[in-house]
Each structure stands twice: as structure tokens, then as C-alpha cells.
Amino acid sequence: MVDLELLAHLESFLTPNRKERFDTVLIQRTKHFTVATEDVYQLHNTSAVMRSCDVFGIQEVNIVEEVNSKSIDREIAMGAQKWVDLNRFSSVKQCIKTLKADGYQIVATTPHEQDSELQDFDFTKKSCFFFGRETEGLSQEVLKEADSFLKIPMVGFTESLNISVSAAIILQQVTAKLRRSDVNWQLSLEEQNALRLDWCLKTLKSQEDIVKRFYETKKM
């Protein structure tokens, strides 16, 4: 449970504009969709995917580092690493198991004989979109465990898009449809408060001292 008194205390240090910005962004955040990247080679691709998640209101990003382990490129993520939750996995098997336990269907973003084109995708289902390595694509493990397959229609000579571009296109389409629907896609009040507290702590300087003084004063 979030300590609402602490939250209110921390918010008292924020400017009115910052508090208003938090409110505006929080009501647009969702966990109805999430994204997973599998052993992406190029660091800037993972960072750019994270930035797209922030832009389109996706709160959680899942990174599988079974082969490649990297740190987020802060310049390309443009601060997104402060505002979205990053879940790291050392194996794709564990990632998929966790996501399915949380009620997500696994969506492999790759052409397949049973695929769905983006405009026909059933956005009402809680989904995790998997993006694979730049050259090899998704692993057989993901393809085997996938509940559905999704592709972006293309009419040119080029047969594929950079994964960060693909993620941006897919997320823009599905979140736009989601927000026009009757699906209950927003975060719960408890989830919003937890994020608000986390964002306050990441925003304020000397946050540890502020929290310490708050609880010391509360004991008096």
C-alpha cells in the first residue's frame, strides 16, 4: 500500500506544472498492452522502443537478455527510463511464463501463416508484443509459445522495418483504438498512486533526506 501522507508531503515540493503533468500522464497510462524485446543487438533500438512506450502510454517494458546484456541508452531514451517500468529477464522462457501468469497473450510480431494484419488485430485482449533480434528475428521459443502473430502491411520492396519503427507503428495503432473503446484499460487508483510516488522520488533532489525527515517528524 502507498503511504498517502508521504505522497502528499513529497508532492508539496513539486511545482504546480509538474503535478499537473503527472496527473495528465497518469490517466493515459496502461498495462493493457506491454512490449518485450528479445536479445536485441543494437542498444539504440531497445532505448528507442522504451521511448515509444512512454510516448504511447505503455507503462511496462520487458527486456530478455539471454544472449545480450545492455544498459539503456539515456540519450536515445530521452528520459523515458524514469517514467516506464523496466522488467529484465535472463531467459525468454521465464519472461513468457511471467507474462502469461499476468494474463497477457503473447503476440509475435512476425509474418506467419496464421498472422493478423495490424488493422485487424483484436486490441481488446491484454497483449504483450514481442520484437526479436535485428537479423534473426524472434526465437523458436517465442514462436512456439505465441498465442497470435501480427504483421504490419507493406507494399514496397523492403520486407522489414527496424524494430523501433515497428514498435512505434503498432503501439500508435493499438493504443488509439483502445482509448476509443469501452475496454477498462487505465491503471487502478492504487497503481496510479504507486507511480506518482515513484515519479516524485525520481524527480526530487535529496529525496532520501526528505523521506527520512518526514518519518522522523511523524514519530514526534
Q: What pTM, to 2 d.p., does this model score?
A: 0.90
The string over 15-37, giving b where at least 16 C-beta atoms fall within 10 Å of a residue's C-beta and e elsewhere, is: eeeeeeebeeebeebbbbbbbbb
Whole-angstrom Cα distance, residue 202 to residue 80?
12
Q: What is the pLDDT of residues 1-38, one digit of tens each?
A: 899 999 999 999 999 999 999 999 999 999 999 999 98
Strands (E), the chain: 33-38, 60-64, 85-89, 105-109, 115-117, 127-131, 148-151
What per-residue confidence (pLDDT) applies to 115? 77
Residue 75 gets which letter from DSSP? H
The string over 164-191, giving b where at least 16 C-beta atoms fall within 10 Å of a residue's C-beta and e elsewhere, is: bebbbebbebbbeebeeeeeebbbeeee
User: Is 68 exposed, middle or buried, given 0-12, 13-18 or 19+ CB atoms closer than 10 A?
Assistant: middle
What per-residue confidence (pLDDT) applies to 155? 81
Q: pLDDT confidence of 78, banded at 50, 70, 90?
A: low
For the chain, the domains span 1-29+189-220, 30-185
Q: pLDDT confidence of 179, banded at 50, 70, 90?
A: very high
Helices 189-203 & 207-219, crossing angle to 10 degrees? 120
For residues 55 and 170, the answer to whether their CB atoms sit within 8 Å is no
The CATH class, in words, for 30-185 is alpha beta
Instruction: Return the minimum-mean-pLDDT range out of 5-9, 39-43, 102-106, 125-129.
Output: 39-43
Cell of 66: 539471454
Cell of 60: 511496462
